[in-house]
A and B are shown apart, each in its own frame.
Chain A
Amino acid sequence: MAKVTQLIHNYLRHSKRFPHVFCPGCGHGIVLGSLIRSVHSLGLAKDDVVLVAGIGCSGRIPVYVDFNSVHTTHGRALTFATGIKMANPRLTVIVIMGDGDALSIGGNHLIHAARRNIGLAALVLNNHIYGMTGGQSSCTTPLGSYSTTTPFGQLEEEFDISRVAKVCGSSFVARTTVMQARHMDKMISTAITHPGFGMVEIISPCHTQFGRKNRFKTSVDMYRWLQKKSVSLDKFQELPPEKRKDAVVTGIFEQKDCIGLEEKHARMRRELRGET
């Protein structure tokens, strides 16, 4: 067994009946692998890590890993995570959400968690579609693309998740794709160690639902397309404007020094109790 596979097995719940729910070729497993590598490289104890997830394909990730895991309601994962982090700031709380989860039904919670700058690491797995319910359009379905509820093409503009998080005050914002595993490892580790709200948007294509409606014959076609579209932030800034359209820009969009809300609360309490 390869070393990295062995490492991942150390973190899986073998009492849980595999196989997992992800389709062959899905990117969510790559994210899970990256998450495990990040937690391992940071040397965090399994007991200190809490995975909180919403509903959808991404919401099924925590059940497979031997951390404290909470599978919450649709769109509200951040609210549960806020309660957990405020109640016990010692815990490392990682929130896993999908695009519909984080930005459609849970949009209110995302913008406020970012504004509050609470010490959570939020991973938003963007597959541009509602995968689990059968491929309906989401708020990130690109303009003109097809889904089971946009049979004549999407008319609405899509959300740029990273931009939303940035303008709402998130102190760490990055985008990566499942085609860049090492970059993803780095982004996830940084978000976990970042003291305030850290959001990583991960482009993880859904070929089963999005691909079949948008002329991608296989998952490999979709990954090639993603690879072709991806461009790092540095390179993107050098591109002529006509080539900037449709590019998936990866990299860190925001990273500022801050203290998390839970730490501010602790300081206020110490001051009130005269324990400074």
Chain B
Amino acid sequence: MAAKSRKKRTTEIFALGNEAVVEGALLAGCTFYAGYPITPSTEIAEEMSARLPRLRGGVFIQMEDEIAGLGAVIGASLAGRKAMTATSGPGFSLMQEHIGYACITEVPLVLANVMRTGPSTGMPTSPAQGDVQQARWGTHGDHPIIVLSAGDVQECLHMTVTAFNFAEKYRTPVILLLDEVTAHTREKITLPDPDDTYVFSRLTPSMPPEWYLPYEDNMRGVSPMPPLGSGYRYHVTGLIHDDHGYPTSNPKEVEQLMQRLFRKIDQFFYDIQMVDEIMCEDAEICVIAYGCVARAAELAVQQARERGEKAGLLKLKTLFPFPRPAVEKMIRKCPTLIVPEMNMGQMSREIKRVNNGQSKIHTLNRVDGQIITPGQILSRILKG
């Protein structure tokens, strides 16, 4: 007898990018949101405030500022919840200290940053991609971090699920970069069947509490993480700590902690690196883009193909750790690369760094609060 085919429970909805982030978060098992309202990320908080209290144990709390928002998220994550917050430029700057805290205490969380034109208050309702390097290096001290980006509404959903999975798998904060245009585009998306969605939840310890080491230097580089109050009483501190979590300044133990923090991300690089190669097989001129610019670039590449140009698009979904192998592959293949960005060249400097003079890198920067159009990219491609 043939196996009964299960009816797929997919739904189609008409949603904003911000709403898709909420759908993704709930799909990934997020039950806690704390934050502070800021344009253009507010729909995430609004939607969460309506949805979370209907879930068992779901908590939405509006805090007094972004610092408090991320603080509460870290607290909730320590207590065993999948937790997130969302913000934009000025709030993202305020959150930097706590991002570092989450890095060193290895607390999983997701932070969606809807980029608007900056610096400072800038243009709150205009898009930009100016927070790319801040997402990588914003908090002080050496630290590894995972930064993802999304360029359309469906991708907002998928990347939010992925962000939660990475956060839980590697016990690290994950920053999801959107931009105002992606966040405020309303289009049809498909909510995937929850049974078909890969959701990872953090490992919790099963050994007796007296054997448990919260910051053990093991093969994975990641220790299981018990929720507060489950019998594993350990110390969490932003000070450099030993494997028990106790503060230390012993050079050996300090070195061990720092090396492990980097290793736990580095050794899973190929799991984290996500790129889309679009029409890249025979490409001679390659556009490297991310976020909403990649969407414009896709159309530009298609139009260039129609005109006989062998153009391709490398769409970066993981921004950091920098997808160096994928970029290097295109550098080897294409004598010309074009990097359109809505900033003064924050990602092109990474690409130039790995290019090392091999190919020609053309930047296409737009910083007037408007999106880069397919036409702009197309004419750059045609110029060669």
| A residues whose Cβ falls under 8 Å from a Cβ of B | 13, 15-17, 46-48, 50, 52, 62-63, 66-73, 76, 78-88, 90-91, 108-109, 112, 265, 268-269, 272-273
Contact = CB atoms under 8 A, between A and B. Distances in A.
Contacts of A72: 71, 101, 238
Contacts of A78: 68
Interface string B245-275: 0110000000000000000000000000000
B79 A73 contact: no
A13 B244 CA distance: 11
Contacts of B239: 71
B75 A79 contact: yes
A86 B32 contact: yes
Interface in B182-239: 227-231, 233-239
B81 interface: yes
19 contacts: A47-B230, A50-B229, A70-B75, A72-B71, A73-B71, A80-B78, A82-B34, A82-B63, A83-B32, A85-B75, A86-B72, A87-B83, A91-B228, A91-B229, A108-B64, A108-B65, A112-B63, A265-B59, A269-B54
Contacts of B56: 269, 273
A272 B71 contact: no
Contacts of A268: 53
B90 interface: no
B8 to A, nearest CB: 27
B246 A17 contact: yes
Interface string B70-92: 11111111111101000000000
A87 B80 contact: yes
A73 B74 CA distance: 11
Interface of B: 32, 34, 53-54, 56-59, 61, 63-65, 67-81, 83, 97-98, 101, 227-231, 233-239, 244, 246-247
Nearest to B239: A71
Given A70-B236, A108-B65, A272-B54, A83 B229 contact: no
Contacts of B64: 108-109, 112
Question: B interface, by DSSP: helix, strand, loop or mixed?
Answer: mixed
Contacts of B75: 52, 70, 79-85, 87
A83 B74 contact: yes
Contacts of A84: 75-76, 78-79, 228
B79 A63 contact: no
Contacts of B81: 87
Contacts of B231: 47
Contacts of B59: 86-87, 265
Given A80-B75, A84-B75, A269-B58, A68 B67 contact: no
A83 B237 contact: no
A76 to B, nearest CB: 5
B71 A76 contact: yes
Nearest to A80: B75
A4 B229 CA distance: 26
A72 B97 CA distance: 11
Contact of B235 (A62, A85, A88): A62
B53 A272 contact: yes
Given A76-B68, A87-B76, A88-B229, 15 more contacts: A15-B244, A47-B233, A69-B233, A69-B235, A71-B239, A79-B67, A83-B72, A83-B73, A83-B76, A84-B76, A84-B78, A87-B81, A109-B68, A273-B54, A273-B56
Nearest to A111: B64
Nearest to B244: A15
A240 to B, nearest CB: 41
B57 A68 contact: no
A140 to B, nearest CB: 21
B135 to A, nearest CB: 19
Given A15-B244, A90-B229, A269-B58, A82 B236 contact: no
A69 B238 CA distance: 12
Given A73-B238, A265-B59, A66 B233 contact: yes
B54 A71 contact: no
B71 A83 contact: yes
A91 B116 CA distance: 39
A17 B247 CA distance: 10
Nearest to B236: A70
Nearest to A48: B229
A87 B63 contact: no
Given A83-B73, A109-B68, A68 B98 contact: no
Contacts of A63: 235, 237, 246-247
B98 A76 contact: yes
The 8 closest A-B pairs by CB, nearest first: A83-B75, A79-B71, A83-B72, A87-B79, A71-B237, A87-B76, A80-B75, A83-B76
A42 B241 CA distance: 32
